[in-house]
Amino acid sequence: MNAQWGVVIVAAGKGTRMGTAESKQYLTLRDKPILVHTLELFQAMEETAAIALVVGQADIGRCEEWVAQYGLTKVTAIVQGGSERQHSVHLGLKALPSHLQWVMVHDGVRPLVTQTAVRACCEAAMKGEDQGAAVIAVPVKDTIKQVNDSGVIIATPDRRSLWAIQTPQAFRRELLIQAHEAAEADSFLGTDDAMVVERMNVPVVVAEGEYTNIKITTPDDLPYAEFLLAMRERAASQN
């Protein structure tokens, strides 16, 4: 994978499901903030040319301090997010150096993604170069039921066709900017970046990711992330 990539890290949310006064991306995972773990992963990848970090206005100062403290030299912009995640991504895209043709979008609270999974996503996007859009995902393990407003099951989709979508998501930059501009013009809000691209009738490829690429959202997620990180560090020390 020879291309140089811009990365938008989205960390402007104020999620309430964690039940803490501090936003989840700033909680400590082992010895450093969750967000720093995420940034260090992309900092370490030679394919990463620039990182635009999107955060809340009140958090810009401490993020600037962490960028200096942890030597995150590829963070070229720290920008204030918008009212919705989609708006924050669009702002991050605009903040990346204009010469970069390929971009990834990643959640700041997915610190356990691996370089292997990131590269798989990027390579899937680049194989479809005429369009250039891919996500990483994992096959759904459980049986999924569709339920109506009364709590009654109305359908059981075929599990073999269902995938749980993760980040990063990788795109040709021009395509993703066009998709966001069209969504903004139509007042459309998608749940992820793939959704705003899909509505342009552009095929989005799925690359298989890893179940350990968890999104830290609820109190149960943090000790599990600690466990996964400890296991990963133990395996690395034995090699």
CA 106 – CA 95 distance, rounded (Å):
15
pLDDT digits (tens, 9 = 90+) for 164-222: 999 999 999 999 999 999 999 999 999 999 999 999 999 999 999 999 999 999 888 99
Instruction: State the Cα–Cα distance between residues 147 and 156, nearest whole angstrom.
Output: 9
Confidence (pLDDT) at 17? 54
CA–CA gap between residue 180 and residue 96 (Å, rounded): 15
Q: How do strand 205-208 and strand 146-147 relate by DSSP bridges?
A: unpaired
pLDDT in tens, 139-153: 999 999 999 999 999
Tell me which residue range forms the domain holding 12.
5-238
Domain count, the chain: 1
**Mean pLDDT calculated for residue range 42-46:** 97
pLDDT-based confidence at residue 239 (cuts at 50, 70, 90): confident
CATH code for the domain in which residue 90 is found: 3.90.550.10
Rounded to whole angstroms, the Cα distance separating 102 from 24 reads 28
Distances (CA, A) of 5 to 47, 88, 91, 96, 161: 6, 19, 17, 10, 30
pTM score, two decimals?
A: 0.93
The per-residue pLDDT for range 51-73, each reduced to its tens digit, is 999 999 999 999 999 999 999 99
